[in-house]
Homo-oligomer: A and B are copies of this chain.
Amino acid sequence: MLIAFIGLGNMGAPMARNLLAAGHALRVFDVNEAALGAAAEQGAKICTSPKDAVLEAELVITMLPAAAHVRSVYLNADGVLAGIARGVPAVDCSTIDPATVREVAAKAAAQGVRLADAPVSGGTGGAQAGTLTFMVGASAELFAQLQPVLAQMGRNIVHCGDVGTGQIAKICNNMLLGISMIGVSEAMALGAALGIDTGVLAGVINSSTGRCWSSDTCNPWPGIVETAPASRGYTGGFGAELMLKDLGLATEAARQARQPVILGAVAQQLFQAMSLRGEGGKDFSAIVDSYRKPR
């Protein structure tokens, strides 16, 4: 299939490579020359704009850092909607606010283009290994069309409902994740302060009502879960800055929906405080250090 792929960052580049490996032809665009060069070496065709990239494409995939980029890539004079043919499906894999997704999708629909949102989880590791989870917001028909291609970049392709629901699923899950991670951090730090062995405490939690991914898989206390970022200096997981971004999306969406999210808002501020202290580059589980004496 001839695919236009726009956005070759840390996530987009390996996703594009997996599509090339699966046998697709790719027309790519990015503002980063080096990223374009790397893709060209793998066989992709370099394009001069989003509009240029989507010419003759049978499918458009975008993977961008934030809503402003999605807006300009789709809506600018040299953007996707200026060049895409009626009937060609597009899927945006960026993590942005649901309102922007819906607005861009409405403009696409007005010219006969169906847009899906499909934010991912799994990080750069998942992007490289082709094991991402895609949370897809699309009509049933569009989902059926996209599913096989997404499956070449990921393992778990979940249909969440109409366009925008992919983003909703992601930000709701990640807001809960941020809260859980802080909750586990407080529980572990409190237990340690009160004098229980932290390994024993984690064992109790993991077989009881407190069990959660943040405790049994990504426990923030060093030495509890061998494969967790906490056991390797809080490197190589889900960065605190990304968690902060997602919490910002969640509370902003909540504001627009007039929906209170108390712990979600506190979680956002605690990660913001972590970032202010210069710790934003670590795995988000390093939030536990907010609860420990400075070393």
Chain A residues within CB distance 8 Å of chain B: 98, 121, 133, 135, 156, 158-161, 164-165, 168-169, 171-177, 179-180, 182-184, 186-191, 193-197, 200-201, 203-205, 207-215, 217-218, 238, 248, 250-255, 257-270, 272-273, 275-278, 290-294
Contact = CB atoms under 8 A, between A and B. Distances in A.
A255 B201 CA distance: 19
Contacts of A165: 195-197, 200
A276 to B, nearest CB: 6
Contact of A169 (B172, B191, B218, B269): B191
Given A169-B200, A204-B158, A263-B186, A257 B194 contact: yes
Contacts of A211: 212-213
A254 B191 CA distance: 9
A21 to B, nearest CB: 26
Contacts of A262: 182, 186, 266, 269-270, 273
B121 A208 contact: yes
Contacts of A203: 158
Nearest to A173: B210
A251 B251 contact: yes
B196 A160 contact: yes
Contacts of A159: 200
A72 B121 CA distance: 37
A214 B214 CA distance: 13
B205 A173 contact: yes
A166 B110 CA distance: 40
20 contacts: A121-B208, A160-B197, A161-B195, A165-B195, A165-B200, A169-B191, A169-B200, A171-B190, A172-B188, A176-B210, A179-B183, A180-B210, A211-B213, A248-B255, A252-B255, A254-B272, A255-B272, A259-B272, A262-B266, A265-B268
Given A262-B270, A264-B186, A213 B209 contact: yes
Contacts of A265: 251, 265-266, 268-269
A133 to B, nearest CB: 7
Of A169, A255, A278, the most chain B CB neighbours within 10 A belong to A169
Of A171, A207, A211, the most chain B CB neighbours within 10 A belong to A211
A261 B291 CA distance: 8
A121 B190 contact: no
Nearest to A185: B263
Contacts of A275: 258
B260 A263 contact: no
A215 B176 CA distance: 10
Contact of A210 (B177, B184, B186, B277): B177
Contact of A273 (B200, B207, B260): B260
Contacts of A176: 183-184, 186-187, 205, 210, 212, 215
